[in-house]
Amino acid sequence: MLSGIKAWLRHPKLMLDRLRYAQISTKITCFYAAVLLLVLLLTSGLTGLGVFFSFYHQAEVELEISMNHVLRVLEQGRSIDMDFGRDDVVLPGVVLRIVDSRGKIVYENDVHYPPIKRIEENTVKNPPFWANKKMQVAQLRNATLYHARMDVEYRGQIYQMHFFKTITAEKHFLETLQKILFLMTILGFFLALLAGFFVSRRILQPIREMTATARKIEVEKMDRRIAVPPARDELAELAETFNHMLDRLEGGFEQQKRFVSDASHELRTPVTVILGYSDLLSRWGRSDEAVLDEGIASIRSEAENMQQLIEKLLFLARADQNRQVLHKENIELSELLADIIKKMQLVTKDHTVELLQNDDGLIYGDLVTIRQMFRIFLDNSTKYTPKGGHIVVVSQKVTGADGSFMEVDLSDDGIGIAKEDQKKVFERFYRVDTSRTKAQGVSGTGLGLSIATWIAQQHAIELTLTSELGEGTTIHLRIPLVS
């Protein structure tokens, strides 16, 4: 410990740097000990000052009272002689000596008190700041005393009145008191270090347990959670926050694993087809034009599917990383819907597409992605609606307490979605009942609705879905209008 203190005194900057990078428990211990040391120093100092100030002040008051009383006695005409103090003209403990101009003692009430010359020889040149500046302080071997002098004229002669008051005769007691206070301060400091060490360790024990648990958590085994302390304090809040973060991380890792697996599966099929037709062309394509045409058409179709899948994956990757740029502007929704439906009616020959109501309304958004969102929903309607089915769009303006909105419903009378699947259809690569969709000749990547959901979120569009098996599906969009 002494070597550490010496090192601190020699290299304070080095020790401060070490403390800066020390453990939290060490910092708490040092801070706790430093605060308590400061409190002890202040308490000890104020206690010592209070004791001395009390002694000095009491002696000062008694001297002033005695001096005032002597002046009143003189005014009453009492003669200055050996009988001057017959009725205690000064307070008990105050010594009065009267000397004439030649230095001869005319009166004194305590013959055993040290002589005036000795007292003057031991007068302190720089008395304590709390001492009365009008009085002198003399420091004898075992006592400290006040000395006040007053000159009076009596019967044409000048007399000096010397008043003395012992401030404290317990010099040894005061020195012992100072030593005790100093030792108590040092002892309190080391006790504070010891108490701070144990208290900090106890306080930080839950954090160490959290750290140990966190070290045991691996990517492959993320089911472990931190035990939440029973006390509802900051540590419990930290544990709950950490567990919530782990839940999100686990969900993210699972989603990532599923995403990679599904993407690999989706890419493997067209790659397999392309490799198969390439092998077919290398064997018979040069001599058989029918095989050549079929192979080229199939390879082109699968390449286009791969291109669409990769573009969707890149879109979602940019969205996840907040790198998907949106150029928002004011858009007349009625014109946009009319244009989308018109073009869809031109290319859709097997379904009836109708825009029954199209109210005017100005929205703020990115024209490209808003158009993409509507096309995704309408493409899904055509995929999952049998030939001869109907797709109906209704856009109606509504005004409520929270502002004006455009409520757009996109409905079809297709195969519908089961209740248990309705929350999952917006997940990536999720496709409903592949046996039923294959029977309808439907194919896809399962990414469209995920992209549409992200676009809706970026434009504060409320998106809901209602569906019944065999009765069709309706997408509800509540789009904020520009005020």
Closest CA to 113 of 137, 93, 90: 93
Q: Is 462 helix (H, G, I), strand (E, B) or coil?
A: strand
pLDDT band of 355, cuts 50, 70, 90: very high
Q: Which residue, chain included where needed, has tokens 């708490």?
A: 28
What confidence category does residue 297 fall into, taking pLDDT thresholds of 50, 70 and 90?
confident
What single-letter amino acid sits at 397? K
Q: Set out the domains of the chain in order of their start, with CATH numbers.
A: 1-216 (no CATH), 234-320 (1.10.287.130), 328-480 (3.30.565.10)
Whether 261 has a pLDDT exceeding 70, the answer reads no
In this prediction, residue 443 has a pLDDT band, given cuts at 50, 70 and 90, of low
Confidence at residue 13, expressed as pLDDT on a 0 to 100 scale: 58
Q: Which residues contact 477 (CB under 8 A, 6 or more apart)?
A: 406, 407, 408, 409, 410, 456, 461, 462, 463
Q: Which residues contact 80 (CB under 8 A, 6 or more apart)?
A: 74, 98, 106, 107, 152, 154, 159
- Most confident stretch, 101-110, 258-267, 299-308: 101-110
Residue 14 has pLDDT above 60, yes or no: no
pLDDT band at 431 (very low <50, low <70, confident <90, very high): low
pLDDT digits (tens, 9 = 90+) for 123-134: 888 888 778 888
Judged against a pLDDT cut of 60, whether residue 175 lies above it is answered with: yes
Instruction: Tokens for 255, please give them.
Output: 């989603």
> Is pLDDT above 60 for 184?
yes
CA nearest to 106, candidates 128, 83, 126, 89: 83
User: Which residues lie below 8 Å from residue 49, measured CB to CB, with a gap of 6+?
Assistant: 130
Sequence-separated (6 or more) residues with CB below 8 Å from residue 119: 138, 140, 145, 147, 164
Q: Is 23 left (phi over 0), alpha (psi -120 to 50) or beta?
A: beta
Residue 347 pLDDT: 82
From residue 84, how far is each of 19, 78, 100 by CA, in Å? Answer: 72, 7, 14
Its pTM stands at 0.49
Q: What is residue 258's predicted lDDT score, i.e. its pLDDT?
A: 67
Average pLDDT over residues 177-197: 78
DSSP assigned state of 421: G
Mean pLDDT of 111-119: 86
Residue 312 in this model has a pLDDT that exceeds 60: yes
Is residue 40 scored above 80 in pLDDT? no
pLDDT, tens digit (0-9, with 9 covering 90-100), for 123-173: 888 888 778 888 888 888 778 888 898 888 888 888 899 999 887 655 566
Torsions phi, psi for 358 (to 5 deg): -145, 80
Question: Tokens 């009365």 map to which residue?
Answer: 132
